[in-house]
Amino acid sequence: MACPFFMPEEQFVSDWPFPQRLPLGAGWMGTCTAPGHEGRRPSDEELKSGCNLGYAKACSRLYDAASGSWLQRHDDPRVQRMAECYVQAQKARTGCNGS
């Protein structure tokens, strides 16, 4: 799942090893819709390491790993829950306990 706060706008051609395996079927450029960051354009690095992949651990706008809480919750509870499930699965997979 790509970041639930990422609004893709146009395809982003980069050095993706297997772009067809990305959650959205390709890399995308777009904007952040996280509360307080609406309309912000992520850098190319953020697009490659976070937005297109959903890795909340690397995003300073979304997830506080130290406290294990969201800095901003999504307005749509379904999207928020999907993001929580994704983070939980990633933490279990990598053995990350948030500290």
Structural domain of residue 44, as residue ranges?
Answer: 6-94
The reply to whether 48 falls in a domain is: yes
Return the ∠ at Cα 29 (arms to 27 and 34), rounded to 5°: 115
The reply to whether 21 falls in a domain is: yes
The reply to whether 99 falls in a domain is: no
Structure tokens that stand for 18 in this block = 């297997």
pLDDT digits (tens, 9 = 90+) for 56-92: 666 777 776 666 677 778 888 888 888 788 777 777 7
pLDDT digits (tens, 9 = 90+) for 32-50: 988 788 889 999 999 998 8
Number of separate domains in the chain: 1
